């Protein structure tokens, strides 16, 4: 009887998730704010024309939003009182673009007051960041509502750059994302930069021996030397390097080419070579098949964008993304 009760609870929970996802609709604002995508794209074109390096951070921000409390805009909320918000947690302290999100939201508010959620604005911005970086375009299902809670400690759900394959698969599976989503979404690292401290333990003190030879043996030798020249010590907290050297502003297959040569920047990138399925995907797309990868990336982004969304009467539509109404 107990097992049957547990089964029913799981069935109800699964149905609730499916119902929430089903309420998202590419044409959700067709009557209430038909210009929303045009408004977002206009602002994105302006911003990326002036600062093309902002594309990677905006894509990363959407990813970080969806992995904590679902895609509900909680990553955008400011710390209030004694509660430290997600954006001030260690994994999010290198995020940037919050001010620009507010600017885009203000433009949307001017066109359609109190109608479009910050979560949807961020999802559209992430899509346009990829597309304007010469990546794929996809229709974004809309209708998310904004959450009212943001807790720094919950960012432990984010896949860290230091994660091995087991940890990565567990964290992705917790969001109903599979191995294909893992390898496909990891390729978002084809645009953007990273601070040295996110990977410098691969260059120095890898096993705790604390000497110049204590390095990650899975990292290709010449690439490791190049990274060491850019990141001279474990204490470097300011230097940034390209995640996809040579084409870090273009959404392309460069990421797979680097990972296949053991030149993935993070532990998590190199970990993709330790599993037969993800390794095969990396090697296939290191050799080509860009249209196939673009279609896969679009599909995984839509899937991730459905994670634990608030819909209907849940949550709210924030007027400003950094504070609840």
Residue 86 marked ligand-binding: yes
Phi, psi of 247 (to 5 degrees): -150, 40
Residue 264 marked ligand-binding: no
Q: How far apart are the first and last CA of the chain?
A: 45
SS3 (DSSP) at 240 = strand
Listing DSSP states for 84-152 in one string gives: PPGGGSGGGTT---HHHHHHHHHHHHHHSTTTS-HHHHHHHHHHHHHHTTT-------B--BB-S---G
Residue 302 marked ligand-binding: no
Residue 154 marked ligand-binding: no
Residue 216 marked ligand-binding: no
SS3 letters across 287-311 = CCCHHHHHHHHHHHHHHHCCCCCEC
198: which 2 tokens?
């996110």
Q: What share of the chain is helix, strand, coil (3-state, %, to 5)?
A: 55, 5, 40
Q: Looking at residue 236, what DSSP letter applies? A: -
Of the candidates 10, 25, 12, the one whose C-alpha atom is nearest the C-alpha of residue 306 is 25
Q: Is 64 a catalytic residue?
A: yes
Residue 189 marked ligand-binding: yes
Tracing tokens 């066109």 back to the chain, one arrives at 111
Give the CA count within 13 Å in the CB-facing half-sphere of 216.
26
Of the candidates 117, 122, 90, the one whose C-alpha atom is nearest the C-alpha of residue 28 is 117
What are the start-end ranges of the H helices in 156-198? 165-173, 179-186
**Catalytic: which of 62, 64, 267, 285?**
64
Phi, psi of 65 (to 5 degrees): -65, -50
Residue 244 marked ligand-binding: yes
Catalytic residues: 64
Q: Which residues are annotated as a binding site?
A: 65, 68, 70, 72, 74, 86, 159, 189-190, 244, 252
Q: Which residues are annotated as a binding site for heme b?
A: 189
Which residues are annotated as part of the binding site for Ca(2+)?
A: 65, 68, 70, 72, 74, 86, 190, 244, 252
Positions at the binding site for substrate = 159
């Amino acid at each position: 009887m107990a097992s049957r009760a547990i089964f029913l609870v799981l069935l109800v929970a699964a149905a609730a998730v499916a119902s929430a996802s089903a309420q998202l609709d590419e044409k959700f604002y067709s009557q209430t704010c038909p210009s929303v995508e045009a408004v977002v794209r206009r602002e994105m074109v302006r911003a990326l024309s002036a600062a093309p390096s902002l594309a990677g951070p905006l894509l990363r921000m959407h990813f970080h939003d969806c992995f904590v409390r679902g895609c509900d805009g909680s990553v955008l909320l400011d710390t209030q009182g004694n509660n430290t918000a997600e954006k001030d947690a260690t994994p999010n302290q290198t995020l940037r673009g919050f001010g620009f999100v507010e600017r885009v939201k203000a433009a949307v508010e001017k066109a359609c007051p109190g109608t479009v959620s910050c979560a949807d604005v961020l999802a559209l911005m992430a899509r346009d960041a990829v597309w304007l970086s010469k990546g794929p375009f996809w229709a974004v299902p809309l209708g998310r509502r904004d959450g009212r809670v943001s807790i720094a400690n919950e960012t432990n759900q984010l896949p860290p750059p230091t994660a091995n394959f087991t940890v990565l698969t567990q964290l992705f599976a917790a969001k109903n994302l599979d191995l294909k989503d893992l390898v496909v979404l990891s390729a978002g690292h084809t645009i953007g930069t990273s601070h040295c401290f996110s990977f410098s333990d691969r260059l120095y003190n890898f096993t705790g021996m604390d000497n110049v030879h204590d390095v990650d043996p899975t990292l290709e030798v010449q690439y490791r030397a190049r990274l060491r020249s850019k990141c001279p010590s474990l204490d470097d907290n300011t230097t940034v390097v390209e995640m996809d050297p040579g084409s870090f502003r273009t959404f392309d297959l460069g990421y797979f080419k680097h990972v296949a040569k053991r030149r993935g920047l993070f532990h998590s990138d190199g970990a993709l070579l330790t599993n037969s399925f993800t390794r095969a995907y990396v090697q296939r797309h290191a050799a080509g098949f860009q249209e196939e990868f673009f279609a896969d990336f679009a599909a995984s982004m839509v899937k991730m964008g459905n994670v634990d969304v608030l819909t209907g009467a849940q949550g709210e539509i924030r007027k400003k993304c950094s504070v609840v109404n």
